[in-house]
Structure 1
Amino acid sequence: MEECIMGKYEENLELLRKAVRCEPVDRVPVVPCGNAYFARAQHVLLKDYITDFDKACDANLTELKRIGADGTQNVIFSPYLLGTQWLSKAALPGQELGDDDMWQIKEFENMQFEDYEKIKEMGWDAFQKQFIAEKCDNNWENLKPFFEANPRCYQKFYEAGIPCIADFLMITPFEYFCGGRSLEAFFMDDLMEEPELMHEIFDMVLEHNLKAYKQQIKDTHALGVWIGGWRTGPDLVSPKMFDEFVWPAFKAYYDLCIEMNVIPTFHLDSCWNLDLDKFKRLEDKTYILALDSKTDIRKAREVLGKDVCILGDVPCELMTFGTPEEVKEYVTKLLEDIGPWGCMIATGCDIPSDAKPENVLAMSEAAHDFLKTHPQK
C-alpha cells in the first residue's frame, strides 16, 4: 500500500479539524481575520484592496505567511458583501470616503415596513434581488469582480498551505432586517408590534436560505462557514426573543453544516455572557465559538466545558496599543486557563487596521510556542 504523504495544506487542515474536535495537537493553531489590517501592513490603499483582488490576495498571503498562520477566516473581501447581508448601503474608500479610510455601513431606515408585504407577494429571492439592485447600490452587480477572483485566490491559498475556515456567511433573518430597517424601527415597530408577521417573514427567508446555502456548499466545496451573531447578542435581545427569533436559524444552519460535513463557526461579536448556555444544546466537538474580548472567554470555557472549540480573543486595543511582551503574556495566560486543546488563537473579531505588526507576530509566536514551554502529560 502506498503511503499517503500530506502537503502543508492537508496538514494544516487536519490541525484545524483536530482543534474543532478538541483533540491533542502539536501546536495551537493561529487563525486570524484582518482585512483592513492586512492591507495596511502590506502598504496597500484600502481603495485598491477592495477593487484589485489579486493585489488583496497577495497582501493577505504575505502577512499570513509572515506570522506563520495555520489558517484564515477569509481569502479576499469586498465591503459590497455588507450591503447584501444587512440590506444596507456602505460608504467606501475611494468613493464617499478617502482613499485609505475604513469602509462602513450606513445606518438608516433603508427598508420600509410596507416591504414585508412585498416579500409575501414576491417571495424572498425575488424581493431580495430587486431590493439590492434598487436600494443597496446594485451590490450583486458590483460583486461580480469579487466572485470572479475567488477561485484563483483560493488556489493561491491552497498552494500556500493555508485553509480557510469561513468560506461564506450564513445570515439569519434577524440580521437582514435589523440592518435594512435600522435598529430602532426593527425592534420597536417590527418585533414588538408585529411578532406574528415577523415569524411569517422569518420562516420564508429561512426556508429559502437553507436551500440556497446547501447549494452554495456544494458549488464552493466549502470547508467551513460563519454563522453570524452581531445584533442578536444578549446586550440587545432578551432570552425569550433570542429563542423565538434567533435560535431557530442558528440551529437550522448548524444542522445543515453537520449534514454537509462543514465546520460551523458562530461568530459572536459583543458580550454573550448571558447566552453561552444556549450552545450546550449543540453537540460537543462539532463547531467553533468565535468570541471577541467583550465576552468572558473563561466563562465560556466554564459553561461549555472542555469539548467545545473556542476561537479568540486577543483584545483589539492590546494589538494596537500594547507591546509584544504584553501580547505574548495575554495569549500564554489565556491558553493556561482555557487550553491548549480545543483552542484557536486570533484577535477578537478582526485584527484592527492600526494594529502593530510586531504585536500580530507576537500573538502567533505565543500560540505556537505554548506547547514547547507547557508540555502536556
Structure 2
Amino acid sequence: MPKAMVVAGVMSGTSADGVDVALCRISPARNEEDAPRVKLLGHVGFKYSKAVRAAVLAAMDAKAASVADLSRLNWRLGEIYADCVEKAAAKFGVKIALVGCHGQTIYHQSAAAKYLGDDVRCTWQTGEASVIAERLRVPVVSDFRPADMAAGGQGAPLVPMLDYVMFRSAKVSRVLQNLGGIGNLTAIPAGAGVDGVMAFDTGPGNMVIDACMQQLYGKAFDRGGAVARQGSVISSVVELISGEKYFSASPPKSCGREQFGADFVSRFISLCRKAGASDADIVATATALTAESVLRGYQRFVWAHLGTRAPLAKTEFVVAGGGAKNASLMAMLRERLQPLGVNVRLMEELGVPAQAKEAVAFALLAWLTWFGLPGNVASATGAARGVVLGKVTLV
C-alpha cells in the first residue's frame, strides 16, 4: 500500500553542466480518481567540475570513448550523486527514505538500427546506483528508460507523469516546455485524463547554443542571452534546418546528442559562416533555432491536439529548465507564441523552480516504482502500455 515518503530526485541532463537534487514529500492520492501529491521541500543545483564535465562529454563520443573510462566514470558519478544528495539533505535538514537517480545519459538510440543481424534500439545511463545506496544507506531507483523501451516506447520523455500529476487543470490547457540540453514539451488539455497527454522532444534546447558558446567564446553558456542579443539571426539557416526530418516527424519522438551533438554543431556553424555570420550572429541563430523548433512543434502537433480535446479552454505555455534564464530565448518564444493567443509563463509561477523540475520528476518516478506503479505515459513515449520504470538497488 503506497505511503508518504521523503524522496530525493537526482538529475544530470544532456547539457552535462551539473547535478540537480530535489527533495520531495510524496503522498498517495486521496482517492482512486486522484493522483499522488508532490511537495517540493528543497532544491539545490551543483556544477560539475571542468574535469568531470569534460569526461562526461567525452563519454558521449561513441566513436572515441574508452571502455575503461566509461567504467570509471560510472563509479565516479555514483560518488558525485551521493555527495550531492548528502549535501542537499543536510542543507534542508531532512531525512530521505528513497533516491530516484536518472543518471547521466551517454547514449540513447530510440530508432531501431541493424546490429549483429537484428534491429536494435538501446539506451545507456551511467552513475552507479550501488555506490549511492551504500553511501546513503537508502534504496535507490535508477535507469528509468529501459523498461519503457522494452515495451516498445522511446524511453523518453519521462517528465510527462510529473506534468500530469502536478500541473493538470480542469479549466486551463497547459503546455509545459522544458529547455534543458534538449527541449521537450508536455501538452495537457483542460480536464484531460492521463491518456489525453501528448509529449515529445521538440529538438535542441540549450545544447547547440552552449556548444557554439564553447567553440566561439570559450564559455559554457550564453548567460542571460547577452551574446545572442548582440547578433542578428541568419533566417535562411534557421529555415533550412527547421525543414529537416526530425522536426516534421510526428510524435512520439525523442532526440539527444546523437542528433544535435558535435557533428550537427559543426555543420550548423559552417552554414552560418557561409551566410556571412559573425560569432554573435551564430549564437543568435542557434537561439532562434531552438525557439523556432518549439513554435513548429506547437503549431504542427499540439495546437490541434488541444483544440480537439478542450476547444474552449485558454492555453498557458509554461517554460522550465536552464533555457528559461536565457532572456533572448524567452523573448523569441514570446514573439512567436503570443500572437497565437498563448500565455507564456515561467515554471516558478506554478510553484516549482525552473531548474528543479526534472529532478522532482525522478523523485516521483522513484516513488511510483517503489510501490509497483507505472511511471511512463504511454501516449507520450509510444509504449504499448504503462510499465513500472527503473531498477531498484537495496541496502
Per the shorter chain, which TM-score range? 0.3 to 0.5
Higher strand share goes to which structure? 2
How high is the TM-score relative to the length of structure 1? 0.33
How high is the TM-score relative to the length of structure 2? 0.31
Higher helix share goes to which structure? 1
